[in-house]
Amino acid sequence: MTVVPTHSTVSSDAAVPARASAKPARTGLYTPDERKRRDQTKWTLVQGILAPVQFVVMGVSVFLVLRYLTTGEGLVAAHLSIVVKTLVLYTIMVTGAIWEKVVFGQYLFHESFFWEDVVSFFVIGQHTAYLVGLTLKWDARFLMWMALVAYAAYTVNAIQFILKLRAARLQEAAEKGARAADATAGSVTA
Protein backbone atom coordinates (compact mmCIF):
# COMPACT_ATOMS: atom_id res chain seq x y z
CA MET A 1 0.00 0.00 0.00
CA THR A 2 1.38 3.41 -0.98
CA VAL A 3 0.89 6.36 1.30
CA VAL A 4 0.41 9.68 -0.44
CA PRO A 5 1.36 12.70 1.67
CA THR A 6 -1.29 15.34 2.09
CA HIS A 7 1.21 18.18 1.96
CA SER A 8 4.37 18.65 -0.04
CA THR A 9 7.75 18.77 1.64
CA VAL A 10 9.44 19.71 -1.67
CA SER A 11 10.03 23.40 -2.26
CA SER A 12 8.59 24.98 -5.37
CA ASP A 13 12.17 25.55 -6.64
CA ALA A 14 12.66 21.79 -6.98
CA ALA A 15 9.75 21.60 -9.44
CA VAL A 16 11.28 24.09 -11.85
CA PRO A 17 13.91 21.76 -13.35
CA ALA A 18 11.26 19.15 -14.08
CA ARG A 19 9.21 21.70 -16.02
CA ALA A 20 12.28 23.06 -17.78
CA SER A 21 13.12 19.60 -19.10
CA ALA A 22 9.62 19.14 -20.50
CA LYS A 23 9.20 19.09 -24.27
CA PRO A 24 8.91 22.66 -25.59
CA ALA A 25 5.49 23.65 -26.83
CA ARG A 26 5.14 23.50 -30.60
CA THR A 27 4.16 26.89 -31.97
CA GLY A 28 4.40 26.01 -35.66
CA LEU A 29 5.27 23.26 -38.05
CA TYR A 30 8.86 23.01 -36.78
CA THR A 31 10.59 23.67 -33.50
CA PRO A 32 13.88 25.58 -33.88
CA ASP A 33 15.86 22.30 -33.62
CA GLU A 34 13.65 20.60 -36.21
CA ARG A 35 14.01 23.57 -38.55
CA LYS A 36 17.80 23.38 -38.17
CA ARG A 37 17.79 19.64 -38.97
CA ARG A 38 15.44 20.27 -41.92
CA ASP A 39 17.80 22.89 -43.34
CA GLN A 40 20.92 20.74 -42.85
CA THR A 41 19.76 17.39 -44.26
CA LYS A 42 20.22 16.39 -47.90
CA TRP A 43 16.78 14.77 -47.74
CA THR A 44 15.13 18.19 -47.84
CA LEU A 45 16.70 18.79 -51.25
CA VAL A 46 15.71 15.28 -52.38
CA GLN A 47 12.09 15.98 -51.40
CA GLY A 48 12.26 19.41 -53.02
CA ILE A 49 13.30 17.83 -56.31
CA LEU A 50 11.02 14.78 -56.23
CA ALA A 51 7.83 16.68 -55.38
CA PRO A 52 7.68 18.77 -58.59
CA VAL A 53 8.96 15.82 -60.64
CA GLN A 54 6.08 13.73 -59.34
CA PHE A 55 3.61 16.50 -60.14
CA VAL A 56 4.91 16.78 -63.73
CA VAL A 57 4.78 12.99 -64.16
CA MET A 58 1.21 13.04 -62.86
CA GLY A 59 0.25 15.87 -65.25
CA VAL A 60 1.54 13.91 -68.24
CA SER A 61 -0.22 10.80 -66.98
CA VAL A 62 -3.53 12.61 -66.49
CA PHE A 63 -3.31 13.81 -70.09
CA LEU A 64 -2.59 10.29 -71.37
CA VAL A 65 -5.31 8.70 -69.22
CA LEU A 66 -7.91 11.25 -70.33
CA ARG A 67 -6.83 10.80 -73.96
CA TYR A 68 -7.42 7.06 -73.63
CA LEU A 69 -10.77 7.55 -71.88
CA THR A 70 -12.03 9.98 -74.55
CA THR A 71 -10.56 8.45 -77.71
CA GLY A 72 -9.72 4.86 -76.82
CA GLU A 73 -6.18 5.46 -78.09
CA GLY A 74 -2.89 5.22 -76.25
CA LEU A 75 -3.68 2.54 -73.69
CA VAL A 76 -0.07 1.36 -73.43
CA ALA A 77 1.20 4.93 -72.96
CA ALA A 78 -1.46 5.58 -70.29
CA HIS A 79 -0.54 2.39 -68.43
CA LEU A 80 3.15 3.15 -68.66
CA SER A 81 2.62 6.68 -67.32
CA ILE A 82 0.69 5.34 -64.32
CA VAL A 83 3.41 2.79 -63.58
CA VAL A 84 6.06 5.54 -63.74
CA LYS A 85 3.93 7.77 -61.49
CA THR A 86 3.60 4.88 -59.02
CA LEU A 87 7.36 4.30 -58.94
CA VAL A 88 7.99 8.01 -58.35
CA LEU A 89 5.36 7.95 -55.59
CA TYR A 90 7.03 4.98 -53.87
CA THR A 91 10.39 6.77 -54.12
CA ILE A 92 9.11 10.02 -52.65
CA MET A 93 7.34 8.13 -49.86
CA VAL A 94 10.45 6.20 -48.84
CA THR A 95 12.70 9.26 -49.01
CA GLY A 96 10.01 11.31 -47.24
CA ALA A 97 9.95 8.80 -44.40
CA ILE A 98 13.73 9.10 -44.11
CA TRP A 99 13.41 12.92 -44.14
CA GLU A 100 10.76 12.75 -41.41
CA LYS A 101 13.06 10.51 -39.31
CA VAL A 102 15.96 12.95 -39.65
CA VAL A 103 13.87 16.06 -38.93
CA PHE A 104 11.33 14.77 -36.39
CA GLY A 105 12.90 11.59 -35.02
CA GLN A 106 10.30 9.17 -36.39
CA TYR A 107 9.73 7.70 -39.82
CA LEU A 108 6.09 8.61 -40.33
CA PHE A 109 3.01 10.02 -38.64
CA HIS A 110 4.72 12.83 -36.72
CA GLU A 111 2.10 15.29 -35.51
CA SER A 112 3.31 17.95 -37.97
CA PHE A 113 2.47 15.78 -41.00
CA PHE A 114 0.15 13.16 -39.51
CA TRP A 115 -2.87 13.63 -41.80
CA GLU A 116 -0.74 14.10 -44.88
CA ASP A 117 0.91 10.75 -44.12
CA VAL A 118 -2.49 9.12 -43.62
CA VAL A 119 -3.73 10.39 -46.99
CA SER A 120 -0.41 9.38 -48.57
CA PHE A 121 -1.06 5.79 -47.52
CA PHE A 122 -4.49 5.93 -49.15
CA VAL A 123 -2.84 7.24 -52.33
CA ILE A 124 -0.19 4.51 -52.18
CA GLY A 125 -2.95 1.94 -51.66
CA GLN A 126 -4.76 3.19 -54.74
CA HIS A 127 -1.61 3.09 -56.85
CA THR A 128 -0.73 -0.37 -55.58
CA ALA A 129 -4.26 -1.60 -56.30
CA TYR A 130 -3.84 -0.26 -59.82
CA LEU A 131 -0.63 -2.31 -60.23
CA VAL A 132 -2.43 -5.40 -58.93
CA GLY A 133 -5.30 -4.77 -61.33
CA LEU A 134 -2.91 -4.26 -64.22
CA THR A 135 -1.18 -7.54 -63.40
CA LEU A 136 -4.52 -9.36 -63.13
CA LYS A 137 -5.76 -7.74 -66.36
CA TRP A 138 -8.71 -5.85 -64.88
CA ASP A 139 -10.81 -3.73 -67.23
CA ALA A 140 -8.65 -0.93 -68.65
CA ARG A 141 -11.30 1.80 -68.24
CA PHE A 142 -11.78 0.82 -64.59
CA LEU A 143 -8.02 1.02 -64.04
CA MET A 144 -7.89 4.46 -65.66
CA TRP A 145 -10.62 5.73 -63.34
CA MET A 146 -8.85 4.15 -60.39
CA ALA A 147 -5.71 6.08 -61.33
CA LEU A 148 -7.66 9.33 -61.63
CA VAL A 149 -9.12 8.83 -58.13
CA ALA A 150 -5.60 8.26 -56.81
CA TYR A 151 -4.39 11.39 -58.61
CA ALA A 152 -7.24 13.46 -57.15
CA ALA A 153 -6.35 12.31 -53.63
CA TYR A 154 -2.67 12.99 -54.32
CA THR A 155 -3.52 16.51 -55.53
CA VAL A 156 -5.52 17.27 -52.37
CA ASN A 157 -2.63 15.97 -50.28
CA ALA A 158 -0.09 18.01 -52.26
CA ILE A 159 -2.18 21.14 -51.69
CA GLN A 160 -2.23 20.38 -47.93
CA PHE A 161 1.57 20.04 -47.94
CA ILE A 162 2.04 23.26 -49.90
CA LEU A 163 -0.27 25.25 -47.62
CA LYS A 164 1.41 23.86 -44.53
CA LEU A 165 4.91 24.58 -45.85
CA ARG A 166 3.85 28.08 -46.89
CA ALA A 167 2.54 28.72 -43.37
CA ALA A 168 5.88 27.52 -41.97
CA ARG A 169 7.77 29.90 -44.29
CA LEU A 170 5.53 32.80 -43.22
CA GLN A 171 6.10 31.92 -39.57
CA GLU A 172 9.86 31.81 -40.12
CA ALA A 173 9.78 35.21 -41.86
CA ALA A 174 7.72 36.69 -39.02
CA GLU A 175 10.15 35.28 -36.44
CA LYS A 176 13.14 36.74 -38.33
CA GLY A 177 11.36 40.09 -38.51
CA ALA A 178 10.64 40.01 -34.78
CA ARG A 179 14.28 39.14 -34.01
CA ALA A 180 15.50 41.97 -36.25
CA ALA A 181 13.11 44.40 -34.56
CA ASP A 182 14.30 43.23 -31.14
CA ALA A 183 17.94 43.66 -32.20
CA THR A 184 17.24 47.15 -33.52
CA ALA A 185 15.36 48.10 -30.36
CA GLY A 186 18.22 46.66 -28.26
CA SER A 187 20.86 48.68 -30.11
CA VAL A 188 18.81 51.90 -29.83
CA THR A 189 18.47 51.54 -26.04
CA ALA A 190 22.14 50.63 -25.53
pLDDT means per 10 residues, the chain with 190 residues, are 43 43 62 87 91 94 97 97 96 92 88 83 94 96 96 90 81 73 63
Count: domains in the chain: 1
Q: What is the dihedral of CA 125, 130, 131, 132, to 10 degrees?
A: 90
Give me the amino acid identity at 111.
Answer: E
| 17 lies in some domain | no
Please tell me what DSSP assigns to residue 142. H
Report the predicted TM-score, pTM, of the whole model to 2 decimal places: 0.73
**pLDDT attached to residue 45:** 92
Domain that holds residue 147: 31-165
Would residue 177 count as lying in a domain? no
Which pLDDT does position 46 carry in this prediction?
Answer: 92
DSSP string computed for 48-64: HHHHHHHHHHHHHHHHH
Q: Is residue 116 part of a domain?
A: yes
Residue 187 falls inside a structural domain: no
Residue 86's alpha-carbon distances to 55, 72, 105, 186, 187, in angstroms, are: 12, 22, 27, 54, 55
| Number of C-beta neighbours around residue 130 at 10 A | 23
Q: Are 100 and 113 in contact (CB under 8 A)?
A: yes
Whether 179 is in a domain gets the answer no
Task: For residue 136, report the phi and psi dihedrals to the nearest 5 degrees.
Answer: -90, 5
Helices 75-104/42-71 angle, 10° precision: 160
Question: CB count, 10 Å around CB of 51?
Answer: 16
Rounded CA separation 42/19 (Å): 34
Residue pair 78/61 in contact by the 8 Å Cβ criterion: yes
pLDDT of residue 189: 58
Where would I find the H helices in the chain? 12-20, 32-40, 42-71, 75-104, 114-135, 140-189
Residue 45 included in any domain: yes
- CA dihedral (28, 31, 34, 40) positive or negative: positive
**3 domain residue, yes or no:** no
Predicted confidence at residue 17, as pLDDT, reads 44
Rounded (10°) angle between helices 75-104 and 114-135: 150
Residue 107 lies in a domain: yes
pLDDT at 164 (0 to 100): 81
Q: What is the pLDDT of residue 70?
A: 96
* The pLDDT value given to residue 3: 45
